[in-house]
Amino acid sequence: MSRRRFLSRVADWIIRFHLPIVIATGVMIVGLSIFAPGVKYTENIEKFLPEGPETELFQKINKEFGGLNIALVGLTFDDLFTHDNLARVQGLTKALSGIPGVFHINSLTNTIDLTGNELGATVKVLVPEIVPKEKSALEKIRKKALSRKMIAGTLVSHDGKSALLVCVLRGDADMKGVAERLKAATIKLVGSKGVYFGGSPFLAEYMANGAQRDLQRLTPFVCAVILLIMFYLFRRPAGVVLSTACIVTSISCTFGVMNLFGLTLNLLSSSLPIIILAVGSAYSIHILTKYYDGYDAGLDRDGMIHLIFDEVSVPVLVAGVTTMIGFMSFYVMDIQPMREFGLLIGLGIFFSMLFSAVSIPAVLYMLAKNGGSQTAVPHERRGIGDSLLEQIGRRKHGLAALTVVVVVISLYYTTKIDVDMSTKHLYQKNTEPWLAERFLGKQFGGSIYLQLYVSGDMRDPIVLKELERLNDYIAVQDNVAGIQSLVEVVKILNKGFTNSARIPESKAKLSKDLLTLIDGEPWLKMLVNRTWSAALINIKLAEFDSLRINRLIARINDYTRLRSPGRLFAVDAESIPQTLAEKVREYRVKETLERLSLQLAAHRISISQAYLARAMRRARAVDPKRFLDVPTAKVTAYLTGDEAAVDLTNPAEAKRVSTAIIALIDAGKKRDATLAYLRGVVKPEFRNDKKNLTTANETIWETVRTLRRQYESKEIAAPLLAAIPPAQRSHEIETLIRTTLLDITDANFNAAAAPFRAKLPTVARSMSIRISGYPVLYEGMNRSVRRNNMNSAMVSLVLVFIVLALLFRSIVWGLIAIGPTTITLLFTFGLMGVLKIPLDMGSSMITSITLGVGIDYSIHFLWRLRRLGKQTSDLAATMATTGRAIVFNAVTVTVGFSILIFASIVPIIKLGGLTAETMFMSALLTLVLIPLVFHLFEPYLLARKKES
Amino acid sequence: MKRRIVYLLAALLVPASLQAMTPQEILVKVDKSINNFKDQTMEIELEFIESKNAKRSLLLTMLQKGTEKRIVRFRSGTEKGQALLTLGPNQMFVYLPTYRKVRRVAAHVKNQGFMGSDLTMEDISTAAYAPSYTAKQIGETPEAYILELYPKDKGSTDWKKLKVWVSKAIFGFVRMEYYDKQDRHRKTWVRKSYKKVGNCYMAFWSKMTDHNRKHSTVMKIISAKTDSDLPDSLFTKKGLIRGR
């Protein structure tokens, strides 16, 4: 059976069963559409993550550390440290903590104050449960808060006027829902004045709600404009109603199917109606245009239906299939929502195609009268097409050259497409997230965090010291506004017991005592996992700038590659062979000075390495015995104090006992000797108390060693401190230098960077570092989208080309058909390069829209030309009929979508603007380039066509 | 059913004078019932339950003299050797064996989890309720009085109120619910297996559940004795260091 005969039979079938078709369509529409309103909106960024190591790490971190979704609530006051304002922050902290989905909230009023000094407490809260009213007490809180490294600039601004509530959401929480609840509760409690909402959850909430608001606000205008234009173009209300109904029902049926399959809307799929409108509206327009052509030509009802099926059903079907291929090719992507999205758009197009090709003819047959008086295609319509063709024919070489130039320029700018992963592209100036970002940047140094996942035994001082070194390195890098890590916590806690803010030397101290003190604290879960086998370093970034972030990531990677490629080499200082002692000392001095210069650089102090080295050489001459008196006083104080494990027979002799014990130590005696001496001077009840005697003996040995090391480092630090400009000299800097210099004489060290490592008795420890966080994820996500998008576009182009080549039974015609679309795509990418529009998940939709719509135009145009392609006037006739339908469709959607540039959400603006541009360019290039090709190669092409 | 009848009979046999007790009198009676000792020594096992598969337990010894002085010594796990001394609601000290030092722990820390458990220092250190809380009766079952306890000093606790079920038979808490300042139910402490040790009743099994953290801690008393004349010198910093 020939194709024309088959199409005629289909037309007969439609005519015969038009009523059942109309009823079945109605039933299907109602049956599916009743489920449409039930579609829910959820935002789960995890679903958007491409399958791969970055996502796996993200999920691992989410699982081990309770979540990387951090919502930030900022509050500004004239002065935060008043009773009312602190009470406000406290009340809000408590209220927000109870919101489902919130894992933990850290604020000034619930943060623990880790203070460490010989007399002070170890862990306490900074703001009491009952906020004081007295000025002096409030001033005390202010002074403390602004002096704490972990609080000032993190939870309180340095000027003491702003507070920040850091809300960590559970990994499995509905980010948008929790953000909405946090926002509502905050506004209810403290109002909206001087309140800022930052961080990924609030941005996601703003984007989702903003997109919905924009679509709700602007869709009526878009629809009204589209209806008006369609009415102007068709001048037939029934045509306008049917075309609109076709799109509306396609969308509602798609939503109905979504609900039936339990699919939910997200930021991406909320653009579904717009895309279906853009790519699915053409089918009904072509059918209706053909129908009214038949009506104008005076055909009867049957004739009009036969005309539709004879002339436009195949191109509508092929156009629909090629568009579906374009979107369904998303199924090869590695992002689940993109796969769903492609399938749903494909489904929407299917509905649109079905209703256009089957239901509309049936409805038209049911409603229509026979055609009017037989007239030719109106003259004025032909006039526009003719004059366009005339111009194309006359300027064919100029136009060809122009096309080449446009292609070349587009290609050039395509390479300039912005790859910035920054979220700042998502919102406009003076909007809520923009203001929040500005506030957080100004008052708290930023709101974006990069995370380092460090695996290793976090109860091992060697691992923690390496972590400390990494922290020091990162702190001085560009774009780093602050660091939060376990290291700072451990150092402060240790200070509480030793008066020295450093990592304890002994594993027992660290793992057995210090860390068990804080084990189980909710805030600790953000820094170290439950088994202490991995830690998270949170790096606050000053700016979400791709280049700076990528540079930072590269530097961290370089550092870890050079420093600890997966392993550390612990060396016990006492086990070093005498022959290597000097080399080891040099290595440890070098390591310590490197770290010291990083620490000083963080305070904007630079001392030349040569000067540091000279100072160190002087330090070698230090004689530990010079510091005899101070340990004696300390040991005496211990033996007579309330922490002494034993009591002396004669407490008045404590100084003499201390001096004697220290003399034994200096004489090179072992612990047994001092223990024996001690046994002789304690009260009789302690002489056989081995435990308490040992405790006292060990305490004395440790006191002596610690004090001598401290004084030695003080001696070395003096010339270093002298080199610092007086204005930068402070007690803090002096303490920092002295504390860091203690590293040289620690009981153990990491020999990973020592060239003579192989000769040392080392014990390997594993430690590896991986980078994660939202900047990495966004980059991975966008990279994946770009890759997927390019792949799916290429796959679609090839498949579509095959379909078209088969349809036209010609490779050349297939190439002509995809030509305008390919150039539209290039032009759009070039435009994005010029306008600095990044190619991200949102803008990648444009590729599919271009493919979907552009190919449709070409198919319709070429199909018509092919049908008429026997005389020289074929192009003019095609232009007057199919060309007109293309213009109808392009003008309608272009103008309609242009309204979306008035949206507040940048992705909607981009989608609207780029869709309008794409529709316009696709139509223009179809109507200009195809005739141009025919003008240039007419004899060859038409001859080939006629032969075929 | 049989158990219910026993409780019903027990309730009927309770003297009329007791039935007419005010809520505060009930609370005083509870204090007397659970704190009727000069000193006590207990071996305790704490079991931390995060999920079905994530459990950890800890053995400890608790010495108490009166209602204020208390020493907790850890006998197992990484905490082994550590000890805590409580001399009153605002005086707490911790001893870390590797540092061989005692440090005072701020009073505020009593509102935080105790060694990663769901029990706070406050839970552990609150022995007498009547001096700190005002009781209000809100209901009664055949087995228990249901009271609400409101803190007399609101600043001394994180809780707005405690809802407690007091066993009529032994005057011990069988269930305690903790409500935060926003009146949200945050924790539940179920106490069972009461046994008489000396002159007082002790719950040999109890479970504290933190509904927010989705975490619970089971406290089992392994052995207990009372009135062993513990010396005051035990409850000092030196005692904390030396008496291991």
Which pLDDT does position A67 carry in this prediction? Answer: 65
In this prediction, residues A467-488 reach a mean pLDDT of 91
Best CA proximity match to A604, nearest among A727, A742, A715: A727
Rounded-to-integer distance, Cα A462 and Cα A511, Å: 12
* Residue A521 distance to chain B (closest CA, Å): 6
In this prediction, residues A209-218 reach a mean pLDDT of 81
Is B1 inside any structural domain?
no
Which residue in A125, A508, A642 is closest to B108 by CB distance? Answer: A125
Token digits of residue A534: 């991995």
pLDDT at A400 over 50: yes
pLDDT at A285 over 60: yes
pLDDT at A863 over 90: no
* CA distances, A735 to each of A532, A651, A870 (Å): 29, 34, 94
Q: Which residues from chain B sit within 8 angstroms of residue A511, using beta carbons?
A: 78
Token digits of residue A314: 């195949």
Helix then strand then coil, % of chain A, to nearest 5 = 70, 10, 25
Sequence-separated contacts (24+) of A738-742 with Cβ below 8 Å: A738/A710, A738/A713, A738/A714, A739/A500, A739/A501, A739/A502, A739/A713, A740/A592, A740/A595, A740/A596, A740/A599, A741/A592, A741/A596, A741/A713, A741/A716, A741/A717, A742/A500, A742/A502, A742/A709, A742/A710, A742/A713
Range A1-34+236-375 has CATH code 3.30.930.10: no
Going by pLDDT thresholds of 50, 70 and 90, the confidence category of residue A386 is confident
A513-523 pLDDT, tens digit each: 777 777 766 67
The C-alpha angle with vertex A183 and arms to A181 and A189, in degrees rounded to 5, equals: 100
Token digits of residue B16: 């009329």
Q: Which residues from chain A sit within 8 angstroms of residue B49, using beta carbons?
A: none
Q: Which residue of A has its CA nearest to B236?
A: A642
Number of A to B CB contacts under 8 A, please give it: 110
Rounded-to-integer distance, Cα A297 and Cα A288, Å: 14
Which residue in B79, B102, B212 is closest to A516 by CB distance? Answer: B79
Does B180 contact A at CB distance below 8 Å?
Answer: yes
Contact, A817 vs A858, CB < 8 A?
yes
B82 to A516: CB separation less than 8 angstroms, yes or no: yes
Which pLDDT does position A422 carry in this prediction? Answer: 66
User: What sign has the CA pseudo-torsion A506, A512, A516, A517?
Assistant: negative
Query: Domain count of chain B?
Result: 1
More confident residue, A506 or A52: A506
Best CA proximity match to A316, nearest among A857, A890, A849, A874: A857
Contact, A682 vs A650, CB < 8 A?
no
Does B55 contact A at CB distance below 8 Å?
Answer: no
For residue B70, give its domain range. 19-242
In this prediction, residues B169-183 reach a mean pLDDT of 90
Does B153 contact A at CB distance below 8 Å?
Answer: no
Amino acid code (one letter) for B205: W
Placement of tokens 């080399």 in the chain: A583
Rounded-to-integer distance, Cα A704 and Cα A392, Å: 97
B155 to A514: CB separation less than 8 angstroms, yes or no: no
Best CA proximity match to B235, nearest among B88, B96, B125, B70: B70
Token digits of residue A928: 């200009």
Going by pLDDT thresholds of 50, 70 and 90, the confidence category of residue A623 is low
Going by pLDDT thresholds of 50, 70 and 90, the confidence category of residue B17 is very low
Most B CBs within 10 A among A497, A524, A703, hence the mutation to make, goes to A497
* Residue B79 distance to chain A (closest CA, Å): 6
Placement of tokens 């993190």 in the chain: A154
Which pLDDT does position B106 carry in this prediction? Answer: 59
CATH (domain of B35) = 2.50.20.10
Is B114 inside any structural domain?
yes
* Residue A672 distance to chain B (closest CA, Å): 19
Does B115 contact A at CB distance below 8 Å?
Answer: yes
Which residue in B50, B105, B184 is closest to A121 by CB distance? Answer: B105
Does B182 contact A at CB distance below 8 Å?
Answer: yes
Which pLDDT does position A552 carry in this prediction? Answer: 92
The C-alpha angle with vertex A321 and arms to A315 and A327, in degrees rounded to 5, equals: 135
pLDDT at B109 over 50: no
DSSP 8-state code for residue A239: H
In this prediction, residues A38-44 reach a mean pLDDT of 73
In this prediction, residues B177-205 reach a mean pLDDT of 90
Q: Could you tell me which residues come within 8 angstroms of residue B152 by beta carbon, excluding any fewer than 6 positions away? A: B131, B132, B133, B134
Average pLDDT, chain A: 83
Going by pLDDT thresholds of 50, 70 and 90, the confidence category of residue A875 is confident
* CA distances, A55 to each of A199, A536, A822, B20 (Å): 19, 16, 33, 65
Interface of A with B (CB under 8 A): 94-95, 97-98, 112, 119-125, 128-130, 496-498, 506, 508-509, 511-517, 519-522, 530, 642-645, 689, 691-692, 695, 698-699, 702
Rounded-to-integer distance, Cα A525 and Cα A104, Å: 9
In this prediction, residues A329-351 reach a mean pLDDT of 83
Placement of tokens 């060859």 in the chain: A940
A645 to B100: CB separation less than 8 angstroms, yes or no: yes
Q: For chain B, how far is it from start to end, CA to CA, in angstroms?
A: 49
Does B113 contact A at CB distance below 8 Å?
Answer: yes
Burial of B153 (0-12, 13-18, 19+ CB in 10 A): exposed
pLDDT at B127 over 80: no
Does B98 contact A at CB distance below 8 Å?
Answer: yes
Contact, A267 vs A273, CB < 8 A?
no
Contact, A32 vs A257, CB < 8 A?
yes
Token digits of residue A546: 């791709």
* CA distances, B62 to each of B45, B71, B72 (Å): 11, 6, 4
A791-839 pLDDT, tens digit each: 777 877 888 888 888 888 888 888 888 889 889 989 998 998 898 887 7
Contact, A503 vs A510, CB < 8 A?
yes
Which pLDDT does position A520 carry in this prediction? Answer: 67
Rounded-to-integer distance, Cα A825 and Cα A830, Å: 8
What DSSP string describes A414-440? HTT------GGGGS-TTSHHHHHHHHH
Rounded-to-integer distance, Cα A456 and Cα A533, Å: 5
Token digits of residue B221: 């008393």
Highest mean pLDDT among A79-88, A701-710, A727-736, B110-119: A79-88
Judged by average pLDDT, the poorest of A6-10, A351-355, B62-66, B153-157 is B153-157
Does B154 contact A at CB distance below 8 Å?
Answer: yes
Rounded-to-integer distance, Cα A548 and Cα A561, Å: 20
In this prediction, residues A864-889 reach a mean pLDDT of 75
pLDDT at B10 over 60: no
Q: Which residues from chain B sit within 8 angstroms of residue A645, using beta carbons?
A: 100, 241-242
Placement of tokens 């200070």 in the chain: A495
pLDDT at A83 over 50: yes
Best CA proximity match to A308, nearest among A324, A286, A326: A286
Contact, A185 vs A102, CB < 8 A?
no
Amino acid code (one letter) for B86: T
Does B78 contact A at CB distance below 8 Å?
Answer: yes
Which pLDDT does position A948 carry in this prediction? Answer: 46
A643 to B180: CB separation less than 8 angstroms, yes or no: no
Placement of tokens 């203690």 in the chain: A742
Contact, A276 vs A251, CB < 8 A?
yes
Q: For chain A, how far is it from start to end, CA to CA, in angstroms?
A: 18
Q: How many CB atoms lie within 10 A of CB A677?
A: 16
In terms of DSSP H, where are the helices of chain B?
2-13, 16-19, 23-34, 121-125, 237-242
